């Protein structure tokens, strides 16, 4: 298996992009990534996207994108695993390069979510349609059940839970691509609209338009293109129960644990080797459970540790330096790719005021549904 | 790059499967493939599906399927390239095995199309949404323009065009999984309802429910599981213009030609080495143009050659021994996988009355949209 590097990254601003359609956003991110990698031609394309069909009535989007980015003719496919679609696109691109099938492969992600009224209905198609969505449960409701169970089981307070989005919004202030780059205090979280008890509006990642793209090539070729390649040291992917009622413990996300274990094993690393992580904080409770499943904190200790500053600069590990899904935004298919872009910027040392010092290894963790799937990447500075 | 074999195949009957949901159909095909391969565990799963979102309001289907086939925990992803989704799933599985990332990988495909009223609207999302679908063009309309152009340019008659579905229905009679396994005469084609002039109902592949799955492993491991592995000799994939108005010539499908050229090059073979081919006859005209792009007939000669018996038993090459999309059925995401299953059965010598004699190499050609994407596989008997 050939070693694989990331040589270029590009993304749109995340937010309400009323003047850009899905193909415009993707082309912008793709062309930025190609410019960053100093290539004018790619050999293959993967596009992570959860639901361009329901959001924009456009399937077959990988072909649309090759056309609109000026690369007509190359192989291209869309890859989907709900909110983890961006990461599975990178995993597919990784294997295409690792296998020797192609050299310069783009993995991108995109979602155009603001053009329809009922974005939450579309998101619910990532849950179990027959047993969850059909009965009226939506994702805020599913994660609210997880939050309630965790608070009960481990004594986490509502105020401690609020420290997750407060931290992530603080980080986002220095991210020029973030949808909501502002600081937020405890009162703002605790008085925001109730969405699904105990989760309030400021516990929930937003509806976002956006696109992101990275370019992979064999490690041995990387320095031909750029001075600062970043190595994809390991990828772990896993599935879990599609329905929340099939979790043996509502405070656990088995797919995340499995994906993390597989990534650590492939990399030959352990949690304490990781300097920073971009994790899937679709709701405040998610970041806490994920941080535990990845081994950064013991079960039941993650919530209080994050509230005590252990997941920000100066703590044990920096989690979501980008602002996370909550503050940076969550254009579903683009999220996993944008996480990797944050990791690349950190490992290149170009993250500006968000820079994590002396980072050798960074991790990203992306998740579909209520743990139906998860992908973990470990990246290494060169 | 490791050599890759197919060691197991399984599929549902194609048709109107009113008593099976999307997950039931997929699990049936998947478990049949696992039984055929003598494995009770797979390492990874790809599911080709065009639009489970619009057809069934269920995205995230690869996770649903791992759950319902009893393989929870493994990596899984859906892959989409419109009607070529099944083939890109196989291509992804191929690279996962070839790279050494995993050993036993399933590539499946599924589409549940009969549960909603307006299947043609959903299919139109595979065309250019902004310039084609939005204006009201559907796929019968797009392929009708191609048919009209071809008839004008090369003097193909309406009767000659009808020989494509007549041949494919004749083949389908011996396929127990076919949706419409009956013979059909010229009068039936020429008096069937007009859909989009010159294409009539009997020129159009049907709306179909169905699922199909194959299991891949490294060639060097294949004989541990089965006596009759079939080698994936080559895969070629390509994109073309997403919109028909961007084709320089309406009688050409550039993505098919490119995918074919790449597959022949990877295999070190030429068209005359291929004994049979399953091609994407979504409409009668498609089979003709595809057969030309793959080099089986010269440009402009394919229609008359097929009408003259050159694409059936005893002719130059047997095309669509399974009955093709027209008679076997076209459950979009499953189609590319089912094509490969037909090729595997032919190369194993287990195709019964459909058997093509002395076949060493078989080809499959799957296509998205009006040539927005195409994937070609070449399989080799062992």
Q: What is the pLDDT of residues B19-63, one digit of tens each?
A: 999 999 999 999 999 999 999 999 999 999 999 999 999 999 999
A76: nearest CB among B77, B98, B239: B239
Q: Cβ of B54 and A53 within 8 Å?
A: yes
Which DSSP helix (H) or strand (E) runs through A108?
strand A105-111
Q: Cβ of B59 and A80 within 8 Å?
A: yes
Q: What is the mean pLDDT of residues B178-201?
A: 98
Q: How many residues does chain B have?
A: 382
Chain A: nearest CA to B16, how far in angstroms?
Answer: 20
Q: Where are the beta strands (DSSP E) in chain B?
A: 4-11, 44-48, 76-80, 105-111, 194-196, 199-200, 210-218, 230-239, 276-278, 318-319, 361-368, 373-381
Closest residue in chain B to residue A367, using alpha carbons only: B60
Do the beta carbons of residue B131 and residue B243 sit within 8 Å? yes
**C-alpha to C-alpha distance for A66 and A42, rounded to whole angstroms:** 10
Examine residue B377 and say whether the peptide bond preceding it is cis (omega within 30 degrees of 0).
Answer: no
Structure tokens at A124: 């619910």
Q: Which residues in chain A have their CB less than 8 angstroms from residue B25's CB?
A: none
pLDDT along chain A (382 residues), means of 10: 97 98 98 98 98 96 98 98 98 97 98 92 96 95 98 98 98 98 98 98 98 98 97 98 97 98 98 98 98 98 98 98 98 98 98 97 98 98 96
Q: What is the mean pLDDT of residues B178-198?
A: 98
**C-alpha to C-alpha distance for A204 and A194, rounded to whole angstroms:** 10
Label residue B160 by pLDDT band (50, 70, 90).
very high
A74: nearest CB among B95, B239, B372: B239
- What ipTM, to 2 d.p.? 0.97
Residue A135 C-beta-side C-alpha neighbours within 13 Å? 10
**Which residue(s) pair with B199 in the sheet?**
B196
Structure tokens at B93: 């599985």
Which residue of B26, B53, B116 to mutate against A (max A Cβ within 10 Å)?
B53
Q: Which residues in chain B have their CB less than 8 angstroms from residue A374's CB?
A: none
Q: Which residues in chain B have their CB less than 8 angstroms from residue A130's CB?
A: 21, 23, 58
Locate tokens 């109730």: which residue? A194
B59: nearest CB among A99, A126, A240: A126
Question: What is residue B5's DSSP assignment?
Answer: E
| Segment B248-281, tens digit of pLDDT | 999 999 999 999 999 999 999 999 999 999 999 9
B63: nearest CB among A53, A74, A368: A368
- Contacting residues for A136 by C-beta, under 8 A, at least 6 apart: none
Do the beta carbons of residue B74 and residue B42 sit within 8 Å? yes
Q: What is the mean pLDDT of residues B107-125?
A: 94
Q: Which residues in chain A have their CB less than 8 angstroms from residue B57's CB?
A: 54, 125, 129, 133
Chain A: nearest CA to B179, how far in angstroms?
Answer: 25
User: Alpha carbon of B75 to those of B43, B102, B131: distances in Å?
Assistant: 7, 10, 37
Sign of the dihedral defined by the CA atoms of residues B120, B124, B126, B127, in that order: positive
Do the beta carbons of residue A284 and residue A164 sit within 8 Å? yes
Structure tokens at A165: 């989005």
Q: Cβ of A1 and B100 within 8 Å?
A: yes
The CATH number fitting domain A131-204+232-381, selected from 3.40.47.10, 3.30.70.20, 3.40.50.10540, 3.60.10.10: 3.40.47.10
Which residue of B41, B57, B239 to mutate against A (max A Cβ within 10 Å)?
B239
Q: Cβ of B255 and A369 within 8 Å?
A: no
Residue A377's CB is within 10 A of a number of other CB atoms, namely 28
Locate tokens 């000669």: which residue? B301
Q: Which residues in chain A have their CB less than 8 angstroms from residue B127's CB?
A: 60
**C-alpha to C-alpha distance for A275 and B269, rounded to whole angstroms:** 51
Q: Cβ of A101 and B96 within 8 Å?
A: no
Quick check: is A49 catalytic? no
A59: nearest CB among B100, B126, B255: B126
Do the beta carbons of residue B169 and residue B183 sit within 8 Å? yes
Chain A: nearest CA to B33, how far in angstroms?
Answer: 20
Chain-centroid distance of CA B34 in Å reads 21
Which 3-state string (H, E, C) describes B107-131? EEEEECCCCCCCHHHHHHCCCCCCC
Do the beta carbons of residue A284 and residue A241 sit within 8 Å? no
Closest residue in chain B to residue A132, using alpha carbons only: B58
The pLDDT value given to residue B117:
83
User: Helix B139-154 and helix B284-293: axis angle, to 10°?
Assistant: 60
The pLDDT value given to residue A7:
98
The pLDDT value given to residue A324:
98
Residues of chain B with CATH 3.40.47.10: 4-118+207-230, 128-203+232-381
Label residue B346 by pLDDT band (50, 70, 90).
very high
Locate tokens 């805020």: which residue? A140
Phi, psi values for residue B287, rounded to 5°:
-60, -40
Q: Cβ of B54 and A58 within 8 Å?
A: no
Q: What is the CATH number of domain B128-203+232-381?
A: 3.40.47.10
Catalytic residues of B: 83, 330
Chain B: nearest CA to A343, how far in angstroms?
Answer: 22
Phi, psi values for residue A95, rounded to 5°:
-70, -30
B205 pLDDT higher than 90: yes
User: Alpha carbon of B344 to those of A8, A301, B5, B8, B338: distances in Å?
Assistant: 40, 53, 10, 9, 10
Closest residue in chain B to residue A75, using alpha carbons only: B238
Q: Which residues in chain B have their CB less than 8 angstroms from residue A73's CB?
A: 238-240, 254-255, 258
Q: Which residues in chain A have their CB less than 8 angstroms from residue B126's CB?
A: 59-60
Q: Which residues in chain A have their CB less than 8 angstroms from residue B131's CB?
A: none
Return mean pLDDT, chain B.
97
The CATH number fitting domain A4-118+207-230, selected from 3.40.50.170, 3.40.50.300, 3.30.200.20, 3.40.47.10: 3.40.47.10
Chain A: nearest CA to B42, how far in angstroms?
Answer: 13
Do the beta carbons of residue A154 and residue A297 sit within 8 Å? no
A81: nearest CB among B78, B237, B373: B78
Chain A: nearest CA to B78, how far in angstroms?
Answer: 5
Locate tokens 């130059």: which residue? B316
The pLDDT value given to residue B251:
98
Phi, psi values for residue A221, rounded to 5°:
-100, -15
The pLDDT value given to residue A190:
98
**C-alpha to C-alpha distance for B202 and B205, rounded to whole angstroms:** 8
The pLDDT value given to residue B118:
86
> How far does chain A reach from its first CA to its final CA, in angstroms?
19
Q: Which residues in chain A have their CB less than 8 angstroms from residue B56's CB?
A: 129
Residues of chain A with CATH 3.40.47.10: 4-118+207-230, 131-204+232-381
- Can you spell out the DSSP letters for B271-327? GGG--EEE---SBHHHHHHHHHHTTSS-TTTHHHHHHTTTTSTTSSSEE-TT-HHHH
Q: Cβ of A53 and B53 within 8 Å?
A: yes
The pLDDT value given to residue A60:
98
Chain-centroid distance of CA A335 in Å reads 4
Count of A-B CB contacts under 8 Å = 213
């Amino acid at each position: 298996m050939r070693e694989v590097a990331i040589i270029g990254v590009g993304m749109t601003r995340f937010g309400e992009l009323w003047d850009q359609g899905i193909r415009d956003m993707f082309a912008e991110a793709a062309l930025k990534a190609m410019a960053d990698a100093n290539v004018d031609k790619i050999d293959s394309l993967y596009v992570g996207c959860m639901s361009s069909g329901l959001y924009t009535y456009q399937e077959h989007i990988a072909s649309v994108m090759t056309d609109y980015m000026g690369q007509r003719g190359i192989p291209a496919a869309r890859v989907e695993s709900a909110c983890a679609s961006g990461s599975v696109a990178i995993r597919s691109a990784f294997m295409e390069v690792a296998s020797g099938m192609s050299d310069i492969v783009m993995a991108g992600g995109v979602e155009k979510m603001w053009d329809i009224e009922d974005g939450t209905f579309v998101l619910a198609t990532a849950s179990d349609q027959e047993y969850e969505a059909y009965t009226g449960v939506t994702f805020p409701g599913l994660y609210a059940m997880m939050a309630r169970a965790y608070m009960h089981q481990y004594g986490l307070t509502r105020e401690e839970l609020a420290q997750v989005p407060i931290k992530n919004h603080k980080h986002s202030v220095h991210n020029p691509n973030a949808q909501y780059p502002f600081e937020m205090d405890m009162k703002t979280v605790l008085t925001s609209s109730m969405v699904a008890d105990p989760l309030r509006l400021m516990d929930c990642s937003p509806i976002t338009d956006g696109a992101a793209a990275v370019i992979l090539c064999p490690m041995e070729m990387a320095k031909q293109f750029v001075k600062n390649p970043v190595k994809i040291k390991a990828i772990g992917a896993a599935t879990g129960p599609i329905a929340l009622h099939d979790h043996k413990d509502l405070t656990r996300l088995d797919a995340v644990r499995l994906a993390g274990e597989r990534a650590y094993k492939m990399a030959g690393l352990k949690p304490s080797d990781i300097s920073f992580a971009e994790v899937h904080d679709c709701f405040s409770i998610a970041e806490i459970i994920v941080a535990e499943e990845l081994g950064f904190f013991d079960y039941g200790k993650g919530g209080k540790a994050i509230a005590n500053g252990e997941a920000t600069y100066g703590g044990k590990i920096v989690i979501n330096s980008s602002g996370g899904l909550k503050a940076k935004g969550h254009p579903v298919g683009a999220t996993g790719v944008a996480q990797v872009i944050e990791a690349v910027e950190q490992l290149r040392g170009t993250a500006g005021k968000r820079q994590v010092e002396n980072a050798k290894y960074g991790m990203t963790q992306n998740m579909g549904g209520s743990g139906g799937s998860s992908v973990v990447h470990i990246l290494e500075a060169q």
